[in-house]
């Protein structure tokens, strides 16, 4: 049973370019979460999505960042016009959220470097 | 929002030693998870423990929800236990996790 998959694992972008990060949840999971980890810090929530719906985007920067989880295919986190401060590890998590059980499982992360 | 505090921030042990990591949170929670982030950056699920006690090999965890804290016990530590241990809490059902700043554990041979 495959875990949460993220690609690419490493991404290098020049300032001003776009970054697209992909996440495929665990089989049977329909809830996806994105978190960001800056160097030497803990993880910070960005956005929570279900298929075709954004449930909570209160942790997402208001500009340049967007996320989607289409009916078919992976969830995408998109960062437009990247700046050096966007350099971080971006983690995706998924959960099944059955009843009161909502354990989140994390992917290996995408390490974004902006040069 | 809810505050999550972990202690100690750093811990250095000799192989074979035991340790206790603590996580305090400022409000009632629906879910609590412990993770190990290994030196390669991967987050490994250790425990899903909103209340009570669980054990998995050399690791065990206890959450006392009414007193708003959780403890992670590591016994007979090994060098492969090195990394950062995170506590994360969830207040709603199926909502975001709020992470603590982590405990950096180094186990020396």
- How large is the average pLDDT for residues B72-80? 97
Q: Token pair for residue B70?
A: 């959780």
> Above 70 in pLDDT, residue A82?
yes
Query: Does the beta carbon of B65 lie under 8 angstroms from any beta carbon of chain A?
Result: no
Tokens 């199926």 appear where? B94
Question: Which residues in chain A are closer than 8 Å to B36, comparing Cβ atoms?
Answer: none
Residue A81: its pLDDT value, please? Answer: 98
Query: Does the beta carbon of B102 lie under 8 angstroms from any beta carbon of chain A?
Result: yes
The string of pLDDT tens digits covering residues A7-58 is: 999 999 999 999 999 999 999 899 999 999 998 788 999 999 999 999 999 9
Cα–Cα distances (Å) from A11 to A18, A72, B60, B93, B106, in that order, read: 11, 24, 37, 33, 29
Residue A100: its pLDDT value, please? Answer: 67
Cα A81 → chain centroid? 17
Contact between chains at A102 and B94 (C-beta distance less than 8 A) = yes
Query: Does the beta carbon of B47 lie under 8 angstroms from any beta carbon of chain A?
Result: no
Who's near A105: CB < 8 A, 6+ residues apart?
A: A3, A4, A26, A29, A93, A94, A95, B45
Query: Does the beta carbon of B24 lie under 8 angstroms from any beta carbon of chain A?
Result: no
Angle at B86 between CA B83 and CA B87, to 5 degrees: 155
Q: Measured between CA atoms, how close is B15 to chain A, in angstroms?
A: 25
The string of pLDDT tens digits covering residues B18-56 is: 999 999 999 999 999 999 999 889 999 999 999 999 999
Nearest one of A66, A90, A81, A89 to A13, comparing CA atoms: A81
- Residue of A5, A36, A103 to mutate for B, most B C-beta atoms under 10 A: A103
Of A43, A91, A100, the CB nearest to B93: A100
> Above 60 in pLDDT, residue A1?
no
């Amino acid at each position: 049973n495959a875990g949460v998959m993220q690609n690419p694992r490493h991404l290098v972008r020049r300032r001003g370019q776009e970054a697209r990060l992909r996440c495929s949840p665990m089989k049977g999971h329909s809830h996806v979460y994105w978190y960001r980890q800056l160097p030497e810090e803990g993880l910070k929530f960005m956005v929570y999505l279900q298929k075709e719906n954004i449930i909570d985007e209160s942790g997402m920067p208001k500009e340049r960042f967007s996320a989607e989880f289409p009916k078919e295919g992976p969830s995408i986190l998109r960062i437009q016009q990247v700046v050096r401060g966007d350099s971080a590890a971006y983690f995706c998590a998924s959960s099944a959220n059955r009843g009161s059980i909502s354990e989140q499982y994390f992917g290996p992360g995408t390490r974004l470097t902006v040069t | 929002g809810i505050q999550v505090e972990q202690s100690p921030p750093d811990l250095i042990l000799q192989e074979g030693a035991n340790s206790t990591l603590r996580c305090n949170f400022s409000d009632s929670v629906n879910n609590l998870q412990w993770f190990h982030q290994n030196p390669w950056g991967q987050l490994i699920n250790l425990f899903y423990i909103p209340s009570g006690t669980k054990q998995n090999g050399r690791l065990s965890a206890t959450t006392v929800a009414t007193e708003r804290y959780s403890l992670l016990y590591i016994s007979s530590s090994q060098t492969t236990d090195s990394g950062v241990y995170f506590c994360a809490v969830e207040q709603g059902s199926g909502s975001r996790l709020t992470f603590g700043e982590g405990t950096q554990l180094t186990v020396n041979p």
